[in-house]
Amino acid sequence: MKKLLLIAVISLFGYQANAQFSAGVWGGLPIGDAGDVATFSLGADFTYLIEVSDALSVGPTVGFSHSFGDTAETSIGSFDYEDVQFIPIAAAGRFSVTDELTLGADLGYAVGIAPDGNDGGFSYAIRPSYAISDLIDIVVAYRGISLDGGSWSILSLGFEFGI
Protein backbone atom coordinates (compact mmCIF):
# COMPACT_ATOMS: atom_id res chain seq x y z
CA MET A 1 0.00 0.00 0.00
CA LYS A 2 2.84 2.39 0.83
CA LYS A 3 4.44 1.74 -2.56
CA LEU A 4 1.19 2.51 -4.35
CA LEU A 5 0.80 5.76 -2.40
CA LEU A 6 4.41 6.73 -3.17
CA ILE A 7 3.90 6.08 -6.89
CA ALA A 8 0.71 8.18 -6.87
CA VAL A 9 2.45 11.10 -5.11
CA ILE A 10 5.44 10.98 -7.49
CA SER A 11 3.09 10.85 -10.48
CA LEU A 12 1.13 13.85 -9.19
CA PHE A 13 4.29 15.91 -8.70
CA GLY A 14 5.47 14.84 -12.16
CA TYR A 15 2.33 16.35 -13.67
CA GLN A 16 2.64 19.64 -11.78
CA ALA A 17 4.68 21.21 -14.58
CA ASN A 18 1.50 21.04 -16.68
CA ALA A 19 -0.94 22.07 -13.93
CA GLN A 20 -2.91 25.28 -13.54
CA PHE A 21 -4.75 26.81 -10.62
CA SER A 22 -7.71 29.11 -11.34
CA ALA A 23 -10.15 31.12 -9.27
CA GLY A 24 -13.48 32.41 -10.50
CA VAL A 25 -16.32 34.66 -9.38
CA TRP A 26 -19.84 34.63 -10.75
CA GLY A 27 -23.34 35.99 -10.43
CA GLY A 28 -26.45 34.13 -11.48
CA LEU A 29 -30.19 33.80 -11.67
CA PRO A 30 -31.87 30.92 -9.85
CA ILE A 31 -34.28 29.07 -12.14
CA GLY A 32 -36.87 26.31 -11.68
CA ASP A 33 -37.46 25.36 -8.04
CA ALA A 34 -34.69 27.74 -6.94
CA GLY A 35 -36.28 30.64 -8.82
CA ASP A 36 -39.43 30.24 -6.74
CA VAL A 37 -37.63 31.04 -3.48
CA ALA A 38 -34.46 33.00 -4.41
CA THR A 39 -33.78 36.17 -6.38
CA PHE A 40 -30.05 36.22 -7.15
CA SER A 41 -26.94 34.12 -6.54
CA LEU A 42 -23.25 34.90 -6.07
CA GLY A 43 -20.41 32.44 -5.92
CA ALA A 44 -16.75 31.59 -6.25
CA ASP A 45 -14.90 28.56 -7.62
CA PHE A 46 -11.34 27.34 -7.11
CA THR A 47 -9.97 24.72 -9.52
CA TYR A 48 -6.67 22.87 -9.89
CA LEU A 49 -6.33 21.29 -13.34
CA ILE A 50 -3.72 18.83 -14.53
CA GLU A 51 -3.10 18.67 -18.27
CA VAL A 52 -3.76 15.13 -19.54
CA SER A 53 -3.24 16.04 -23.21
CA ASP A 54 -2.98 19.22 -25.26
CA ALA A 55 -6.76 19.54 -25.28
CA LEU A 56 -7.88 17.86 -22.02
CA SER A 57 -7.33 18.85 -18.38
CA VAL A 58 -8.86 17.29 -15.25
CA GLY A 59 -8.70 17.94 -11.53
CA PRO A 60 -10.56 18.88 -8.36
CA THR A 61 -12.72 21.95 -7.86
CA VAL A 62 -14.39 23.46 -4.82
CA GLY A 63 -16.67 26.48 -4.58
CA PHE A 64 -19.16 28.49 -2.60
CA SER A 65 -22.67 29.49 -3.68
CA HIS A 66 -24.96 31.96 -1.90
CA SER A 67 -28.53 32.51 -3.14
CA PHE A 68 -30.51 35.38 -1.68
CA GLY A 69 -34.00 34.53 -0.45
CA ASP A 70 -37.06 36.10 -2.05
CA THR A 71 -40.07 37.72 -0.39
CA ALA A 72 -43.48 36.20 -1.11
CA GLU A 73 -46.68 38.19 -0.78
CA THR A 74 -49.66 36.29 0.63
CA SER A 75 -53.17 37.28 1.60
CA ILE A 76 -52.11 37.52 5.27
CA GLY A 77 -48.86 39.42 4.66
CA SER A 78 -45.38 38.88 3.32
CA PHE A 79 -43.09 35.93 3.92
CA ASP A 80 -39.28 36.01 3.59
CA TYR A 81 -37.49 32.91 2.31
CA GLU A 82 -34.11 32.17 3.87
CA ASP A 83 -30.84 32.49 1.97
CA VAL A 84 -29.47 29.20 0.60
CA GLN A 85 -25.78 28.27 0.64
CA PHE A 86 -23.80 25.34 -0.78
CA ILE A 87 -20.18 24.25 -0.98
CA PRO A 88 -19.82 22.15 -4.15
CA ILE A 89 -16.88 19.72 -4.17
CA ALA A 90 -16.35 18.09 -7.55
CA ALA A 91 -14.16 16.60 -10.24
CA ALA A 92 -13.61 19.01 -13.11
CA GLY A 93 -12.92 18.31 -16.76
CA ARG A 94 -12.00 20.89 -19.41
CA PHE A 95 -11.72 20.30 -23.16
CA SER A 96 -10.10 23.02 -25.31
CA VAL A 97 -11.96 23.29 -28.60
CA THR A 98 -9.77 26.20 -29.75
CA ASP A 99 -7.20 28.42 -28.05
CA GLU A 100 -10.07 30.64 -26.86
CA LEU A 101 -13.05 28.28 -26.44
CA THR A 102 -13.14 25.63 -23.69
CA LEU A 103 -15.99 23.29 -22.80
CA GLY A 104 -16.13 22.11 -19.21
CA ALA A 105 -18.10 19.97 -16.82
CA ASP A 106 -18.00 19.49 -13.04
CA LEU A 107 -19.50 16.48 -11.23
CA GLY A 108 -19.58 16.01 -7.48
CA TYR A 109 -21.48 16.70 -4.28
CA ALA A 110 -22.73 20.04 -2.93
CA VAL A 111 -22.66 20.25 0.87
CA GLY A 112 -25.67 22.18 2.15
CA ILE A 113 -24.65 24.98 4.54
CA ALA A 114 -27.82 27.00 5.06
CA PRO A 115 -30.68 27.01 5.92
CA ASP A 116 -31.10 24.28 8.53
CA GLY A 117 -32.28 21.08 6.87
CA ASN A 118 -30.32 21.75 3.66
CA ASP A 119 -28.70 18.33 3.24
CA GLY A 120 -27.07 19.10 -0.12
CA GLY A 121 -27.01 16.70 -3.05
CA PHE A 122 -25.39 15.59 -6.30
CA SER A 123 -23.98 18.64 -8.11
CA TYR A 124 -23.15 19.22 -11.74
CA ALA A 125 -22.14 22.15 -13.90
CA ILE A 126 -21.87 22.60 -17.65
CA ARG A 127 -19.59 25.55 -18.33
CA PRO A 128 -18.32 26.79 -21.67
CA SER A 129 -15.71 29.53 -21.35
CA TYR A 130 -14.08 32.03 -23.68
CA ALA A 131 -10.56 33.40 -23.10
CA ILE A 132 -10.39 37.18 -23.38
CA SER A 133 -6.69 37.21 -22.41
CA ASP A 134 -4.01 34.74 -21.33
CA LEU A 135 -5.21 34.96 -17.72
CA ILE A 136 -8.94 35.81 -17.88
CA ASP A 137 -11.88 33.77 -19.19
CA ILE A 138 -15.57 34.64 -19.39
CA VAL A 139 -17.60 31.67 -18.13
CA VAL A 140 -21.29 30.95 -18.74
CA ALA A 141 -22.60 28.03 -16.69
CA TYR A 142 -25.64 25.98 -15.89
CA ARG A 143 -25.19 24.81 -12.29
CA GLY A 144 -27.50 22.23 -10.79
CA ILE A 145 -27.89 20.36 -7.53
CA SER A 146 -30.21 17.36 -7.26
CA LEU A 147 -31.93 17.62 -3.89
CA ASP A 148 -34.24 15.22 -2.12
CA GLY A 149 -37.62 16.18 -3.57
CA GLY A 150 -36.40 18.87 -5.97
CA SER A 151 -33.50 20.60 -7.60
CA TRP A 152 -31.52 23.82 -7.27
CA SER A 153 -30.50 25.33 -10.62
CA ILE A 154 -28.65 28.53 -11.48
CA LEU A 155 -27.71 30.16 -14.79
CA SER A 156 -24.51 32.09 -14.15
CA LEU A 157 -22.05 34.45 -15.81
CA GLY A 158 -18.62 35.12 -14.40
CA PHE A 159 -14.88 35.50 -14.78
CA GLU A 160 -12.17 32.94 -14.17
CA PHE A 161 -8.61 34.03 -13.44
CA GLY A 162 -5.70 31.69 -14.17
CA ILE A 163 -2.85 31.83 -11.72
Q: What is the pLDDT of residues 43-63, one digit of tens each?
A: 999 999 999 999 999 999 999
Exposed/middle/buried for residue 117 (C-beta within 10 Å: 0-12, 13-18, 19+): exposed
Q: How many CB atoms lie within 10 A of CB 104?
A: 22
List, in order of start, the domains of the chain with CATH numbers. 20-162 (2.40.160.20)
pLDDT of 4 strictly over 60: no
When comparing pLDDT for 92 and 9, which is higher? 92
**Separation of alpha carbons 161 and 46, rounded Å:** 10
Output the pLDDT for position 143: 98
Question: Which of 31, 145, 45 lies closest to 94, judged by CA?
Answer: 45
Task: For residues 13-31, give the mean pLDDT.
Answer: 83
Q: Which of 27-31, 69-73, 109-113 has the least mean pLDDT?
A: 69-73
What integer pLDDT is reported at residue 160 of this predicted model? 97
